[in-house]
Every structure is written in C-alpha cells, then in structure tokens.
Structure 1
Amino acid sequence: MVNLNKTRNAKRAATVAVGTVLLTLVSSPAFALIRDDGDDPGPGLSVFETLTLFVLAPIVIFALITGAVVLLGDRRK
C-alpha cells in the first residue's frame, strides 16, 4: 500500500520545484548586464544613507507601531 502522505509531499515538492524554475526563467531579464536606452540610475547611496533607509527607518516604524498598539491597546486593566 502506498503512503498517501509521501505521495502528496512528493507532488508538493515537484510543484514547488517547477514553479521555482519557471519563475527563474521568467525573471531572467532582471539579471541583465546591459542597460536599456534611456536608463538613468542616478547617483548611488552612501553607506550611511543605505543603513538609514534599509535598517534604521524600518526599526523606527516598527517601534512606532508597537508603541501605538501598546498604548492604545486594551485599557480594561
């Protein structure tokens, strides 16, 4: 008798593998090395700007949302 869980897991794994390959093939232009006509990337970010934008800003936003939830949360105590 075939174990149905193993069959389902195998089908899931195959589906994920095929989906991953298809997404990689579809998104391959994202890895292009040649710039398009009219492409103007602008100046790069400094290390400080990068850390502020991608590290510090999300932490501050998370802290503000957390603080609002805690302060405006259940006040029945």
Structure 2
Amino acid sequence: MDKKNALRAGALAAGTTLMMLLMSSPALALTRDDGDDPGPGLSVVETLGLYVVAPIALFAVIAVLVMVLDRSKEEHRVTSRNIKTRPKADAKA
C-alpha cells in the first residue's frame, strides 16, 4: 500500500510540474510591457561579485562577529579541557 501512495504522489508532482512548465511561457518575456525600463546588464565580474563573493563575505562577517562577541561562560562550553568523566561505581553483588 505504501508503494501505491508513493507512486500516486510522484505522478501528482510530475503532472503539476509539467502543467506549470507548459503554462509559463518564456517567450512572453521577450515582449516589452508598458513602463519597462531595464537598466544596463551586469558583467561577469559584477555578477560573480554580487551573487557569490558578497554572500560569502556576509557569512564570514557574521561568523566572526558571533565568535568575537561570544560572552558565554567557559564552563558551559564543550571543549576537551572541561570534559569530566565519572569513575565507574563499584558494583556490589
């Protein structure tokens, strides 16, 4: 019964995707609408800087700020220095 539901869900997802692809015509993107005023295109360097370098730099800045401004107590951090192991209790039988 599980395979039947999976097959039904897959067929529904494939059918929905196919219908969406057929309904959205990319050829309509070539015709200009009233009020369209596209600016100049981006160069390869500008595109890479905007969509690759900028997010990586933003991630790095946030990570550094989190590490620098971390005010948690040393005993709450999990490090190899503060892990304490308990001795095994003597089993009395």
| TM-score scaled by length of structure 2 | 0.60
Per-residue deviation, 1:74: 7.2
Aligned-residue sequence identity (percent) comes to 47
In the alignment, the residues of structure 1 paired with residue 71 and residue 17 of structure 2 have an alpha-carbon distance, to the nearest angstrom, of: 44
Instruction: Name the larger-Rg structure.
Output: 2
Per-residue deviation, 1:5: 1.7
Per-residue deviation, 1:46: 1.8
Q: Unmatched 5+ residue regions in structure 2?
A: 75-93
| TM-score scaled by length of structure 1 | 0.70
The structure showing larger relative contact order (alpha-carbon pairs under 8 Å, at least 6 residues apart) is: 2
- State which drifts further: 8-17 or 18-27: 18-27
Q: Which protein has the bigger helix share?
A: 1
In the alignment, the residues of structure 1 paired with residue 24 and residue 56 of structure 2 have an alpha-carbon distance, to the nearest angstrom, of: 30
Q: For 1:37, which of 6, 22, 34 is the aligned residue?
A: 34
Q: Which runs of 4+ in 1 moved over 3 A?
A: 68-74
Are 1:9 and 2:3 counterparts? Answer: no
Q: Unmatched 5+ residue regions in structure 1?
A: none
In the alignment, the residues of structure 1 paired with residue 71 and residue 23 of structure 2 have an alpha-carbon distance, to the nearest angstrom, of: 47
What RMSD in Å do the two structures reach over aligned CA positions?
2.1
Aligned residues: 72
**1:47 maps to what in 2?**
44
